[in-house]
Amino acid sequence: MGVLELSGVGVRYGAREALSGIDLVVPEGQVLSLLGPSGGGKTSLLRVIAGLEPASAGTLRFDGRELTDVPPHERGFGLMFQDYALFPHLDVAGNVGFGLRMAAWPAHRVRARVAEMLELVGLPGAEARSVGRLSGGEQQRVALARALAPSPRLLMLDEPMGSLDRALRERLPLELRGIFERLGITVVYVTHDQEEAFSVADRTVILRGGRVEADGTPEMLWGQPPTEFVARFLGFRNVAPGVWQEAGIDTPWGRLSMADPRGTAEPAGDDAAASVTTEGRIELTVVLRPEALSVAAGGPISGMVTARRFRGDHVLITVAVADAPDLELELRGAPLPAVGDAVSLAVDPRGVILIPG
């Protein structure tokens, strides 16, 4: 096991640049999730690490050794494909034991390891079953067992939850996380679902347009999304441009009093110092967390309730504000305004995210 280092990695298909300037270091044993919208280059990055595609720029090292000329079957990495790519002509044991056969393990050791892997993924005794007759969840487990059986130095998973139902999608990431921790394996996990990314991984890298848009722990990314794109991608709704000047922020919803954002906001990415104007104005993107808004008389924001949705432990209220995007807030307990009420909203400064630029 070792450290994975990518420097300046780029991939182009003809004229299209799918990845460019990727610098990434993955320490041993880390679970890294690669998050991003489709077409953002996540799968390309996986394939480059796996060796299934050549990088058109940059270098790839693992354990200090440069991997450019190493073919995929010699890298010792595991890859679990989207749609699993199980071998239809082999049964479950044949699939799971495939990598071991390639490594010329003796038959009895293969059998033992296959049983061990099936036990690990929760499919004990499934050796003789035909892969064509497995359910989606079972196929996923077999694919995982197959990838894990040869004890890869690095495991990559490409949208492993893609074709599963919602219940499994919520439960399985945690199970996977448990398996990864137990094995102490380095993992790169690709998904477009940020909930999944955050529940599985220690660290998330967000890719956009073939470049790294953000890189941090879930807490960091969630607490202070570095760019507007990341904020929106993570699901934040109340996003709008704003200008800080004279101890307050002018937003389309109203003026919020705030301390100097340069003290509270953490610079994110490349454009940290970009947007300070000469008059002491700072241009920002403002994100209001739903839980930062509350109904209070005399608040800086006034609007009208247009929708109310019950969400179990809270109610989601949509408030329309003149000349501004709708606001969403979560309310717990009474009083709950009705649809059509005029409301005034207060903002808790701890729930305001300020993104430079």
Partner 1 sequence: MSRRAALLLAAPPIVFLAVFFAWPVASILAAGLFPNGQLDVRGLVATWTQPWALRTVAFTLALAIGSTLLTLAAGMPAAWVFARFEFRGRRLLRALSIVPFVLPTVVVGAAFLALLGPRSPVNAALAGLLGPSAPVLRLDGTIWAVLLANVFYNVAVVLRLVGGLWSHLDPRTEEAARMLGASPWRAFREVTWPLLRPAVMSAASIVFLFTVTSFGIVLVLGGPGQSTLEVEIYRQTAVLLDLPAAAALSVLQIGGIFTLLLLYARSQERLAVEGALRPAAEMARPPRTRRERLAVGGTLLGLGLLIGLPLLVLVERSFAGIGGYSLDAYRSLFSVSARSALFVPPARAIADSLVFATATLLIAGCLGLLAALVIGYRRGWLPRTFDAVVMLPLGTSAVTIGFGFIIALDQPPLDLRTSVLLIPIAHALIALPFVVRAVAPVIRAIDPRLREAAAVLGASPSRVWRAIDGPIVARAALVGAGFAFAVSLGEFGATLFIARPDTPTVPVAIYRLLNLPGGTNFSQAMAMSTILMVMTAASVLLIERFRGSGPQPF
Using a 10 angstrom Cβ sphere, with 0-12 exposed, 13-18 middle and 19 or more buried, the burial of residue 334 is: exposed
Minimum CB distance to partner 1 smaller for 163 or for 344: 163
- What is the separation, in whole angstroms, between the first and last Cα of the chain? 40
**Beta carbon of residue 10, minimum distance to partner 1 (angstroms, whole number):** 13
Q: Whose Cβ is closer to partner 1: residue 95's or residue 285's?
A: 95
Which tokens is 70 given? 């190493």
Helix axes 166-183, 136-148, angle to 10 degrees: 20
- Give one DSSP letter per residue of 318-339, joined into a string: EEE-TTS--EEEEE-SS--PPT
Least distance between partner 1 and beta carbon 187 (Å): 14
DSSP of 220-264 = HHHHS-SSHHHHHHHT---EEEEEE-SSEEEETTEEEE---HHHH
How are strands ordered across the β-sheet holding 65-66?
Answer: 16-26, 4-13, 57-62, 65-66
When the beta carbons of 77 and 233 are compared against partner 1, the nearer one is: 77
Of the pair 73, 109, the CB lying nearest partner 1 is at 73
Residue 156 or 329: the one with the smaller Cβ distance to partner 1 is: 156
Per CB under 8 A, residues contacting partner 1 are 13-14, 50, 52-54, 71-74, 76-79, 81, 83, 85-89, 98-99, 102-103, 131-132, 146-147, 150
- CB of residue 79 to partner 1, shortest distance in Å: 4
- Smallest separation (angstroms) from partner 1 to the CB of 3: 20
Q: Which residue has 């999304």 as its token pair?
A: 225
Least distance between partner 1 and beta carbon 149 (Å) = 8
